[in-house]
Amino acid sequence: MTTLWDRSRQVAVQEILDTALRLFAEQGYEHTTIAQIAREAGISQRSLFRYFGTKEDLVCGGQEALGELLKQTVRQQPAELSPWDALRAGFETILTADHTPERVLELSRLIFATPALHARYIEKRLRWQSELVPIVQARLAAPAAPAGPSPDPRAKAVVAAVFACVDTATELWAGSGGRLDLADLYDQCLAAVRDGG
Amino acid sequence: MTTLWDRSRQVAVQEILDTALRLFAEQGYEHTTIAQIAREAGISQRSLFRYFGTKEDLVCGGQEALGELLKQTVRQQPAELSPWDALRAGFETILTADHTPERVLELSRLIFATPALHARYIEKRLRWQSELVPIVQARLAAPAAPAGPSPDPRAKAVVAAVFACVDTATELWAGSGGRLDLADLYDQCLAAVRDGG
DNA sequence: GCTTTCCTGGCAGTTAATGCCAGGAAGGCG
DNA sequence: CGCCTTCCTGGCATTAACTGCCAGGAAAGC
């Protein structure tokens, strides 16, 4: 059952987030202090840190949920799909799952424009990215010498390369102001990596 | 001509670096304060920040030089080499250029074990990584529809994918304690990405 | 030797982040 | 309704990374 605390918490989170993103857009991420966000959101600094552990989480906090969704979607793809197609299907799902493309665009712009945020974003992602590796591993053909002493780097590399393409596509998409098609860009990136000369 | 200031600066840098890395190895990165490093290195906190702008630069500071070397090497590869081979040649050069593999291993372990450092490492690399894109672009075959309205994402994607493989290989290499061959791992990663099913 | 230049260290201040504690609202129970 | 437990909130103090500022001193140039 959802208690009043949960509900007001959700409202508070949304309000803080709106305030923070507005200020970030107005003055930039670095020139906005936690004190100012707390003041304008009508909350104490201490509580703000309770809602969002760090300043960066105000921007990069929503990642874990999407990652979880991606993982589940990839896992549920038919077994005969290649790792590439399964991952591609997962991203397709994420794209349609997030209902506010303009908010995503705003966040993406902010992240790509702020080096510290960009780095933090990637770092957070690397954490749950590794959880995709065993799922992808299961879809890879058995290596020539199975169960060798050294771990199989293939799944890890595939996942890393796919995310490299996602990042590249997202950056270009954000740079275009959302006018280009994100899925299209991703396909172009992957094609360049896999089929290029 | 090298002035005394330059020489003593170089000595100081080396001494601070040794002190810092020793402390990081002993107590971990997060539990080592700038104050302690400065104290043990016999230098003021203020001067330490003048040598290394940030605490993270004590670990990630040497990157720019390697990046510059990589850029130059890739640029000087024969024109008929594919982007992949040119980049591969660049990494080969870097591997042999750094004369202290055990120091590299120590740094790599520290970076992969410390989220803040990992993020900073990625951030710094993203900066000069983008400078490789035009160099790689020149080696790509002309696209089917040249000079379209949307920028060509291929070079950006190739560079990102190559670095994804480098990272994956480096992480596995560091995890193996340096026992595996880094160049070998890189080739396996790239093969999995480019030739895999 | 004198001047200029540059480096160094100390001090104060800012910002993000954490621990602690008192006060108060929500929820359960007699 | 009154009481008690539980949980949340805000304020205070503190730490740690960093920055600006200024005085003092060593090296460089003449």
| Ordered alpha helix ranges (H), chain B | 4-27, 34-41, 45-51, 57-60, 63-75, 83-97, 101-113, 115-129, 132-137, 154-175, 182-194
Residue B158 forms contact with A (CB below 8 Å): yes
B113 lies in the same domain as B190: yes
Q: Which of B123, B164, B153 is nearest to A113 (CA)?
A: B123
The answer to whether the Cβ–Cβ distance between B123 and A119 falls below 8 Å is: yes
Query: Band of the pLDDT at A98, cuts 50, 70, 90?
Result: confident
Residue range A24-80, pLDDT digits in tens: 999 999 999 999 999 999 999 999 999 999 999 999 999 999 999 999 999 999 999
Residue range B81-137, pLDDT digits in tens: 999 999 999 999 998 887 788 999 999 999 999 999 999 999 899 999 999 999 999
> Which chain A residues touch B186 with a CB distance below 8 Å?
none
CB B166 within 8 A of CB B186: yes
Query: Band of the pLDDT at B8, cuts 50, 70, 90?
Result: confident
Q: Considering A34, A55, A76, which residue would you say is the last residue of a domain? A: A55
What is the distance in angstroms between the CA of the first residue and the CA of the last residue of chain B?
A: 58
A76 lies in the same domain as A29: no
- Per-residue confidence (pLDDT) for residue A100, from 0 to 100: 85
Domain hosting B138: range is: 59-195
Of B150, B157, B169, Cβ closest to residue A192: B157
- Per-residue confidence (pLDDT) for residue A101, from 0 to 100: 86
Residue B88 maps to which CATH number?
A: 1.10.357.10
Angle at alpha carbon of residue B114, lines to B112 and B116, rounded to 5°? 115
The token duo for A5 is 């605390």
The residue with greater pLDDT, B131 or A141, is B131
- Per-residue confidence (pLDDT) for residue A124, from 0 to 100: 93
Residue B134 forms contact with A (CB below 8 Å): no
Residue range B170-195, pLDDT digits in tens: 999 999 999 999 999 999 999 999 98
Dmax over CA atoms of chain A, in Å, equals 62
The answer to whether the Cβ–Cβ distance between A197 and B140 falls below 8 Å is: yes
Length of chain B (residues): 197
Q: Which of A23, A157, A85 is nearest to B161 (CA)?
A: A157
Say if residue B142 is exposed, middle or buried (CB neighbours under 10 Å; 0-12, 13-18, 19+). exposed
A158 lies in the same domain as A183: yes
A140 lies in the same domain as A158: yes
A99 lies in the same domain as A188: yes
A84 lies in the same domain as A72: yes
Say if residue A11 is exposed, middle or buried (CB neighbours under 10 Å; 0-12, 13-18, 19+). exposed
Residue B31 maps to which CATH number?
A: 1.10.10.60
A73 lies in the same domain as A158: yes
**Nucleotides, chain D, CB distance < 7 Å:** 7-12, 15-21, 27-29
pTM (two decimals): 0.92
CB B16 within 8 A of CB B43: yes
Instruction: Please check the confidence at residue A17 and state whether its pLDDT lies above 70.
Output: yes
CA atoms of B185 and A152, how far apart (whole Å): 10
The answer to whether the Cβ–Cβ distance between A189 and B163 falls below 8 Å is: no
- Per-residue confidence (pLDDT) for residue A144, from 0 to 100: 64
B66 lies in the same domain as B91: yes
Residue range B15-52, pLDDT digits in tens: 999 999 999 999 999 999 999 999 999 999 999 999 99
A38 lies in the same domain as A123: no
CA of B46 to C1' of C12 (A): 13
CA atoms of A120 and B56, how far apart (whole Å): 14
What is the distance in angstroms between the CA of the first residue and the CA of the last residue of chain A?
A: 58
CA dihedral A160, A162, A165, A169 (to 10 degrees): -120
Q: Which residues contact A129 (CB under 8 A, 6 or more apart)?
A: A67, A159, A160, A163
The answer to whether the Cβ–Cβ distance between B154 and A189 falls below 8 Å is: yes
Q: Considering B55, B74, B97, which residue would you say is the last residue of a domain? A: B55
B10 lies in the same domain as B64: no
Query: Band of the pLDDT at A197, cuts 50, 70, 90?
Result: low
B51 lies in the same domain as B64: no
Q: Considering B18, B39, B55, which residue would you say is the last residue of a domain? A: B55
Integer angstrom CA distances of residue A176 from A2, A171, A172, A191: 41, 9, 6, 20
Residue B82 forms contact with A (CB below 8 Å): yes
CA atoms of A109 and A100, how far apart (whole Å): 14
Q: What's the total number of domains in chain B?
A: 2
CA dihedral A102, A106, A111, A112 (to 10 degrees): 90
B73 lies in the same domain as B33: no
Query: Band of the pLDDT at B144, cuts 50, 70, 90?
Result: low
Cα A25 from chain centroid?
20
